[in-house]
Structure 1
Amino acid sequence: MFAGEDKFWYNLTTGKVERGFESPAIDRVGPFDTEEEAAAAPKLLAERSRAWADDDAAEDAWGTGSGAASGDEQTDAPGR
């Protein structure tokens, strides 16, 4: 038995949950331990995509002064 053969997968093409390797790997996401987890794959993928996009945006903005701390410069430095 291959690893993942007894797991559940979500088929991105058909929108159906599969057990084992029913379809080509390019069409599947997973593996998931339960059928319910696999059925929730689209929601999980959307949440992860959103988080990755937020991380990318934060990295792109790093050092540009557009972050939350941009107006929080200390004014107690010598010479001020």
Structure 2
Amino acid sequence: MAYWYNIATQQVETDENRSRNDDVMGPYDTEDEARGALASARENTEKWDAEDRAWEGKDEED
């Protein structure tokens, strides 16, 4: 079973009750992973931004 995180309702959804709009993130293997979707997305964005700055030769404080 796949799990989804609905950013509009802030609820975890399954395939059976998943919203069919752009407000869902996933799929995730577990309910806990879906519940942590926003934190995971934030961590990934910060990591990728740091990698971009390093690749461009910029300090993190620029």
Q: Which runs of 5+ in 1 are unaligned?
A: 1-5, 67-80
After TM superposition, the structure 1 = structure 2 runs for residues 1-80 of structure 1, keeping only pairs within 5 Å, are: 6-20=1-15, 22-61=18-57
Q: CA deviation at 1:9?
A: 0.3
Higher strand share: 2
The CA distance in 1 between the partners of 2:43 and 2:21, in whole Å, is 22
The CA distance in 2 between the partners of 1:26 and 1:54, in whole Å, is 27
The CA distance in 2 between the partners of 1:42 and 1:31, in whole Å, is 13
- Bigger radius of gyration among the two: 1
Q: CA deviation at 1:22?
A: 1.8
Tell me which amino acid in the other structure corresponds to 2:4: W
RMSD over aligned CA atoms reads: 1.8
Runs of 4+ in structure 1 deviating by more than 4 angstroms, as ranges, are none
The CA distance in 2 between the partners of 1:37 and 1:14, in whole Å, is 17
Count residues with an aligned counterpart.
Answer: 58
The CA distance in 2 between the partners of 1:44 and 1:38, in whole Å, is 9
TM-score (norm 1): 0.63
